[in-house]
Structure 1
Amino acid sequence: MPSQDVTQRFIFEQADVRGELVSLNESYREILARHDYPEPVKALLGEMLAAAVLLSTAIKFDGLLVMQARSSGPLSTLMVECSSRQEVRGIARYADELSGDTLSELMPDGVLAITVDPERGQRYQGVVALTGTSLADALAGYFDSSEQLPSRFRLLADGQMARGFMLQALPANRETDPAARQETWNRLSTLADTLTVEELKALDNRTILHRLYHEEDVRLFDEQPVCFRCSCSPERSGNALISLGREDAFALLAEQGGEIRVDCQFCNACYRFDQAALQTLFDKAREHARSLH
Structure 2
Amino acid sequence: MAEKDESDQLQRFIFDQADVRGQFVQLRETTQEVMHRGGYPPGVQRLIGEGLAAATLLAATLKYPSALTLQLQSNGPMALLLIQARSDGGLRAMARFNGEVPDGAPLSVQAPEGTLAITIEPDAEPDRYQGIVDVGGGTLAQALERYFLESEQLLTRVWLAAEGDAAAGLLLQRLPGQPGHDEDAWDRAGHLAATVQPEELLQLPPLTLLQRLFHEETIRLFDPLSYRFQCRCSEERVAAMLLSLGEEEIRETLAEEGQVEVRCEFCNALYPFDEVDVEALLTSPIARAPDSQRSH
Structure 1 residue 249: Cα displacement: 5.7
Q: Is 2:43 the partner of 1:40?
A: yes
Whole-Å Cα distance in 2 between the matches of residues 94 and 287 of structure 1? 34
Contact in 1 for aligned 2:242/2:250 (Cα 8 Å): no
Q: Of the candidates 19, 22, 32, which is equivalent to residue 19 of structure 1? A: 22
Contact in 1 for aligned 2:44/2:101 (Cα 8 Å): no
Q: How does 1:51-90 map onto structure 2 within 5 Å?
A: 51-90=54-93
Provide closer, same or farther for how the CA distance between residues 194 and 79 of structure 1 changes in structure 2, counting only shifts above 3 A.
same
Whole-Å Cα distance in 2 between the matches of residues 288 and 17 of structure 1? 55
Structure 1 residue 253: Cα displacement: 4.8
Q: How does 1:190-269 map onto structure 2 within 5 Å?
A: 190-245=191-246, 247-248=247-248, 250-269=250-269
Provide closer, same or farther for how the CA distance between residues 112 and 255 of structure 1 changes in structure 2, counting only shifts above 3 A.
same
Provide closer, same or farther for how the CA distance between residues 78 and 244 of structure 1 changes in structure 2, counting only shifts above 3 A.
closer
Provide closer, same or farther for how the CA distance between residues 256 and 225 of structure 1 changes in structure 2, counting only shifts above 3 A.
farther
Contact in 2 for aligned 1:234/1:271 (Cα 8 Å): yes
The 10-residue stretch of structure 1 (90-99 or 249-258) with the greater mean CA deviation from structure 2: 249-258
The one-character-per-residue Cα deviations of 1:10-55 (angstroms, maximum 9, x if unpaired) are 1122122211111110110110112222211111110010000000
Give the secondary structure class of the aligned counterpart of 2:59. helix
Structure 1 residue 215: Cα displacement: 2.2
Partner of 2:293 in structure 1? none
Give the secondary structure class of the aligned counterpart of 2:273. strand
Q: Of the candidates 142, 158, 161, which is equivalent to residue 137 of structure 1? A: 142
Residue 199 of structure 1 aligns with an amino acid whose one-letter code is E
Whole-Å Cα distance in 1 between the matches of residues 255 and 182 of structure 2? 64
Partner of 1:272 in structure 2? 272
Stretches of structure 1 lacking an aligned partner (at least 5 in a row): none
Residue 23 of structure 2 aligns with an amino acid whose one-letter code is E
Whole-Å Cα distance in 2 between the matches of residues 182 and 110 of structure 1? 36
Stretches of structure 2 lacking an aligned partner (at least 5 in a row): 291-296
Contact in 2 for aligned 1:131/1:141 (Cα 8 Å): no
Provide closer, same or farther for how the CA distance between residues 181 and 116 of structure 1 changes in structure 2, counting only shifts above 3 A.
farther
Q: State the identity %.
A: 42
Structure 1 residue 237: Cα displacement: 0.5
TM-score (norm 2): 0.88
Whole-Å Cα distance in 1 between the matches of residues 135 and 209 of structure 2? 29
Structure 1 residue 134: Cα displacement: 1.3
Structure 1 residue 132: Cα displacement: 4.3
TM-score (norm 1): 0.89
Contact in 1 for aligned 2:19/2:174 (Cα 8 Å): yes
Partner of 1:176 in structure 2? 179
Calculate the aligned-residue CA RMSD, in Å: 2.4
Partner of 2:165 in structure 1? 160
